Amino acid sequence: MKQVALGIDIGGTNTSIGVVDREGNVLYDKKPQLPTPQKKDNPSGSEIKSEELMLSFIAALTLEIKAAIETVMKINPHIEVVGIGIGAPNGNYYSGTIEHAPNLPFVGVINFAQRIQDEFPHIKHVKLTNDANAAALGELIYGGGKGMKNFVMITLGTGLGSGIIVNGDLVYGADGFAGEVGHTTIVPGGRLCGCGGIGHLEAYCSATGIKRTVYELLAKYNNGESELALVPYNDMTSKIVFDAAEKGDAIAKEVFEVSGELLGRGLADTVHHLSPEAIFLFGGPIAAGEYIFKPTKDSMERHLLPIFRNKVKILPSELREGSAAIIGASALVWKELEKKNE
Amino acid sequence: MKQVALGIDIGGTNTSIGVVDREGNVLYDKKPQLPTPQKKDNPSGSEIKSEELMLSFIAALTLEIKAAIETVMKINPHIEVVGIGIGAPNGNYYSGTIEHAPNLPFVGVINFAQRIQDEFPHIKHVKLTNDANAAALGELIYGGGKGMKNFVMITLGTGLGSGIIVNGDLVYGADGFAGEVGHTTIVPGGRLCGCGGIGHLEAYCSATGIKRTVYELLAKYNNGESELALVPYNDMTSKIVFDAAEKGDAIAKEVFEVSGELLGRGLADTVHHLSPEAIFLFGGPIAAGEYIFKPTKDSMERHLLPIFRNKVKILPSELREGSAAIIGASALVWKELEKKNE
């Protein structure tokens, strides 16, 4: 029997569903993805509406999981589904609950993993955590973190997520929610963060944070010569900044320098906590390569105690952008199996 | 046979040596303490001088350890010394080495635990870490952290040390040096830290940092009415500030408010990494009670993501100031025994 795991990632817009084997091969990846219920469908935060949306979401997800298993079994009938791993916003590993997720229409604490388990009682492991924690497990099980005991995963997207590996396992903390490095304060009195906080790392060094820096620098220098000045705020991406930097655009290059300076300082704070072997960066901005890696490394080293210098690698994630979400979620299952076998 | 552990703490001035049982009772505590070799005895950083000082220090320590064991055995001959735990600056748990300790006269990497082990080949466990990590283990084995799986220990002294407990064990990181929260950046562009860094938590919230804030505020307000204005810089202590606050001194009260505001923000950064159940504070400044605890708690809560609020306790350490160093060091031994029995 070939063992496989289901990986489910509940994103703000869509939910990905895939089947992944122990080596990280994606045997199935549902396209188009299942739409995630939207906050705007429950604008008043009604508990009744929340439950309605949850029931129809669980029903749709159940059908999709069955379809995924059937599709994979048609190709190889000798398959055993050993678990379902779920990445979800504000996902609590210990209880399998989704708690007060600000971008979902569900109210309060949702017993999500249990509801899925109830639909598939014969599947042994149904586990849930947040997407960045799942990505860290993906890096540990399939990626550049294989064989490492201590590393940190940083995901740069709309937000800045993180997952922390200590002694070969994910750090969940006392309540199941550890690893929110994006919400450490990097600039006291600085930018408003999406969470309502002030000056958080996420507000500067996520993909969105980098975009904000573009317009801050355009405003600072009033530089109409930069080709970035031609792009509306809502259309700006890390890719556009990278392309401009490649053509020598001074603003674009400074955007990466400023972002790397702050990210490096933030990573130094993380190293002072955890002394990891490596920090993996994942997400759109890392396609800018040395434009972002060099200032980040330089700043991190400069902010480290001598004892930590020239020890900690900053590496691009080895997870592929397209399938990282389901691969990360599926890694939860393999990690559970490992723990049971210890 | 009653099992006991030796606890040795190598401080900048003196080295403490004690014998502690599994319940944390101190059966022996050498007084006066053994002087620690001083940096000024090897001003040029000579390797030959370093080795000379090390040999005589090991010889003296060996005699003291033997005397400690003999003294305890005189009272109770049915004693088994199961290990020696050592707290040392820049102590590396994995290798048992003291590495490039800036305040000791020893040059480079010193194989300290092995040298002690060589003197006592019949003692099973000789383990070493830094003093704040040892204190965290002390809190775990004997103190308020008993039964907790995830907490952080913060020691407020000349510096600001920290030890991190995750899943019931100390976090040593990839290189054995994790837990240097005092050197995270809290005020970018701020005060010079003892390590040469800028704006570190230690420069604001250690006992020394609190002293610095006294004079910063006296200078800010030019407040000659404050009784703190009568005390020379080198004589100022947290106790003096506390006593002044008790008498209503405005500067003294603001010192604790400012210190707590910054400490609370730093602790929020730590919570965003690790989501601990509790944070224990240890050291002179905590005698100020609510003057320091209240602003620290308020600031931490204000800087936390909603998901972490009203969950994390800030507690005074349950280790007694006088014996915490040897108790912490001895806890290393009991933790080793626990690991072997798992």
Contact status, residue A228 vs residue A216, Cβ threshold 8 Å: no
User: CA-CA distance, B212 to B233, in Å (whole number)?
Assistant: 8
Chain A residues inside the 8 Å CB shell of B187: 188
User: CA-CA distance, A296 to A263, in Å (whole number)?
Assistant: 6
Q: Does residue A293 sit in the same domain as residue A160?
A: yes
Core vs surface per residue A213-234: b (16+ CB within 10 A) or e: bbbebbeeeeeeebebeebeee
Amino acid occupying residue B69: I
Q: Is B184 in Cβ contact with A268 (below 8 Å)?
A: yes
Q: Does residue A161 sit in the same domain as residue A310?
A: yes
pLDDT less than 70: residues of chain B: 342
User: CA-CA distance, A158 to A235, in Å (whole number)?
Assistant: 13
Q: Report pLDDT for A103.
A: 86
Interface test with B, best of A130, A272, A315 (most B CBs within 10 A): A272
Select from A100, A269, A312 the Cβ nearest to the Cβ of B184: A269
Provide the mean pLDDT of chain B: 96
Chain B residues inside the 8 Å CB shell of A306: 100, 195
Q: Does residue B97 sit in the same domain as residue B173?
A: no
Q: Is B305 in Cβ contact with A183 (below 8 Å)?
A: yes
Chain A residues inside the 8 Å CB shell of B195: 305-306
Q: Minimal Cα distance from B90: which residue of A? A: A307
Nearest-Cα distance to chain A for B63, in Å, is 32
Pairing of strands A14-21, A2-10: antiparallel
Q: Does residue B94 sit in the same domain as residue B169?
A: no
Chain B residues inside the 8 Å CB shell of A176: 275
Q: What is the pLDDT of residues B190-227, one digit of tens each?
A: 999 999 999 999 999 999 999 999 999 999 999 899 99
Q: Report pLDDT for A332.
A: 97
Contact status, residue A101 vs residue A53, Cβ threshold 8 Å: no
Q: Does residue B159 sit in the same domain as residue B127?
A: no
Contact status, residue B112 vs residue B95, Cβ threshold 8 Å: no
CATH of residue A126: 3.30.420.40
Largest CA distance in chain A: 64
User: CA-CA distance, B287 to B285, in Å (whole number)?
Assistant: 5
Chain B residues inside the 8 Å CB shell of A312: 174
Q: Does residue A236 sit in the same domain as residue A275?
A: yes
Q: Is A100 in Cβ contact with B275 (below 8 Å)?
A: no
Select from B149, B166, B272 the Cβ nearest to the Cβ of A166: B166
Q: Does residue A241 sit in the same domain as residue A286?
A: yes
Q: CB B117: neighbour CB atoms within 10 A? A: 17
Nearest-Cα distance to chain A for B114, in Å, is 21
Q: Minimal Cα distance from B109: which residue of A? A: A307
Q: Does residue A312 sit in the same domain as residue A326?
A: no
- Pair of tokens at residue B32: 């006066």
Q: Does residue B68 sit in the same domain as residue B165?
A: no
- Pair of tokens at residue A207: 């993909």
Q: Does residue B131 sit in the same domain as residue B224?
A: no
All residues at 6 or more sequence positions from B153 whose CB lies less than 8 Å from its CB, including other chains: B132, B135, B136, B139, B145, B162, B163, B164, B165, B279, B280, B282, B317
Q: CB A211: neighbour CB atoms within 10 A? A: 22
Reported ipTM? 0.96
Q: Quote the number of domains for chain B.
A: 2
Range of the domain at B167: 151-316
- Pair of tokens at residue B240: 């003096």
Q: Does residue B248 sit in the same domain as residue B306?
A: yes
Mean pLDDT by 10 residues, chain A (342 residues): 96 94 94 93 93 96 97 94 96 96 92 97 96 96 97 96 97 97 98 96 97 97 95 97 98 98 98 98 97 98 97 96 92 94 74
Q: Does residue B206 sit in the same domain as residue B287?
A: yes
**Residue B101: which of B93, B15, B328, B110 has the closest Cα?**
B110
- Pair of tokens at residue A198: 């002030």
Interface A-B, measured as beta-carbon pairs within 8 A, has a size of 140
A315 strand-pairing partners:
A280
How buried is A327 (Cβ within 10 angstroms: 0-12 exposed, 13-18 middle, 19+ buried)? Answer: buried
Q: Is B272 in Cβ contact with A273 (below 8 Å)?
A: no
Chain A residues inside the 8 Å CB shell of B149: 174
How buried is A181 (Cβ within 10 angstroms: 0-12 exposed, 13-18 middle, 19+ buried)? Answer: buried
